[in-house]
Amino acid sequence: MGQTTSPGTADEPATGRGATAERFAADEQIAAAMAAEHESLSPECRADPARFERLLAPDFHEFGASGAEFGYEGTAARVAAATDPDDEPITVAGMRGWLLADGLVMLKYTTEVQGRRAHRTSLWRRAATGRWQIFHHQGTLTGP
């Protein structure tokens, strides 16, 4: 499957109807994972532990840009406690995604908040309910 930076764009050429349908299905899954990632970065979601927790898979794991390692337990509460709705929002640049397998998407992008930039990678999995949940995230600090 191909990389996409926005719905409807892939890096592999289409050949025939089957390839077009396959590309559309890949782009649709990547777009859904991107939408879930953007939701997870919104101040409204981050300030609401129940809403944020719905996006986390029970086996969630994170290597934070701080160097700390986190699991599912307590992550939503920690994120909510660190979120001030009056702070500047998280700026996202260069988000792109890859469909690794049906129902499995990897996203890469850069964030900036309060002058701190980080490269980020997330792995999203479509749950049996059809909802997308993040099960792995890594942030690495980077320069300006």
pLDDT in tens, 24-77: 889 999 999 999 999 999 999 999 999 999 999 999 999 998 899 999 999 999
Q: What pTM, to 2 d.p., does this model score?
A: 0.85
Mode of pairing for the β-strands spanning 91-101 and 132-142: unpaired
Helix (H) or strand (E) holding 111: strand 104-113
Which CATH number is correct for 3-142, 3.90.420.10, 1.10.3720.10, 3.40.190.10, 3.10.450.50? 3.10.450.50
Report the pLDDT value the prediction gives residue 16, as an integer from 0 to 100. 61
Report the pLDDT value the prediction gives residue 52, as an integer from 0 to 100. 97
